[in-house]
Structures are given as C-alpha cells and as structure tokens.
Amino acid sequence: MSGASENSSRWNWTIGRIVGPFGIRGEMKTEILTDFPDRFRTLNEVALVLPDGRLDVRTVEGVRLHKGRALLKLLGIDTIEAAESWRGAEVRVSREQAVPLSEGFYYVSDLLGLRVVTVTGREVGAVDEVISAPAHDLLRVGESLIPMVHQIVRMVDLSAGVVVIDPPEGLLMEDRVAAAECG
C-alpha cells in the first residue's frame, strides 16, 4: 500500500513526528511520542499525516533506534529531498497496531467520552480530557479534575462506556458550588 491515500480515522494513534531527514537515502529522524519505542521495530506500515491533513500510508522498509530517535526508512522515500518533504508529519498507526496494556492501564483515547458516575449512581458527566500530571493522571469532567487513583476511580468498564468513582467530599465542582450556596 505504499503511497496510498486513505481515510485518517483508521490511523488515529500518533507514535512519532518526523523531525527531518537522516543521511541521503531517504531515512527520516523521528521524534518518539510513545511509551513503547520498541514498537517501531515491529511496524509493517504507517501513515504519515502532514499538518495540512494530507495522509499517506507507507510500507516500512526498516527502522533503527539512534540517540533517542527512530530512524524510519519507508518504501518510496529514497532521497534526502523526499524525506525533507515529510518534515513535521505525524507518524500514525492503526488501533490494531496498538500495544496491549496491562490490566488497570488505559489509552487516553479509550477514556475520552466515557460516562462518569459515582458509586451511588449519580451522573457526573463525561470524560472531556485526560491530563498527565507528575503524581498521576487526572480526568477532566466538566470543571472537575478527578485523580486517576484506586481510592477514587473504583472501576473503568470500557465495554459499558463508564467510569465509576467514589469522590471524597468537595472533589466535584458541583459539590463545592452547592456548599458555597448553602454556607
């Protein structure tokens, strides 16, 4: 499928960004944007997505890791000029190429949009964003930030599309607003 254009919805997992050519034979220095850099070694094909949205699916001819970067050699990109034309492109893989995670770990894209309810069944909202913080990730649900810790997040059920939380008093924004109005 070298050089084929395709729908970008299949290629929604960004694992790197092309930062420039390497050498004269079309290799591309790639900033690694994944927690699993070794995954580059097992890739058969990737999608390159330019900032303007153009997408091109390419067969991977070779990969090597060098000084904290992945050096990608893709079919049909054989010159320094051809490699340069992809500077700034995202390197994406399909969901099928995602690295399986251990139990209790989730991809951000899997959490976005999940309904959040309390252990008592109260509807809180939907996960709008996952914020990476030094101690732990935070789920942004409306104006509330919910720490992704076992004491608060009691269950994540991806198939049901729900996160069950046991929030301490005052964690949820609507609880703080209600307390301020009463007090």
The predicted-structure confidence for 33-56, as pLDDT tens digits, reads as follows: 988 899 999 999 999 999 998 999
Query: Is 98 strand, coil or helix?
Result: coil
The pLDDT of residue 116 is 98
Token digits for 46?
A: 């990737």
Quickly state the pLDDT bin for 175 (edges 50, 70, 90). Answer: low
Q: Are 8 and 28 in contact (CB under 8 A)?
A: no
Report pLDDT digits (tens) over 75-90: 999 999 999 999 999 9
Report pLDDT digits (tens) over 94-140: 988 888 888 888 888 889 999 999 999 999 999 999 998 899 999 99
SS3 track for 90-114? EEEECHHHCCCCCCCCCCHHHHCCC
Structural domains present in the chain: 8-97 (2.40.30.60), 108-182 (2.30.30.240)
Token digits for 85?
A: 């034309």
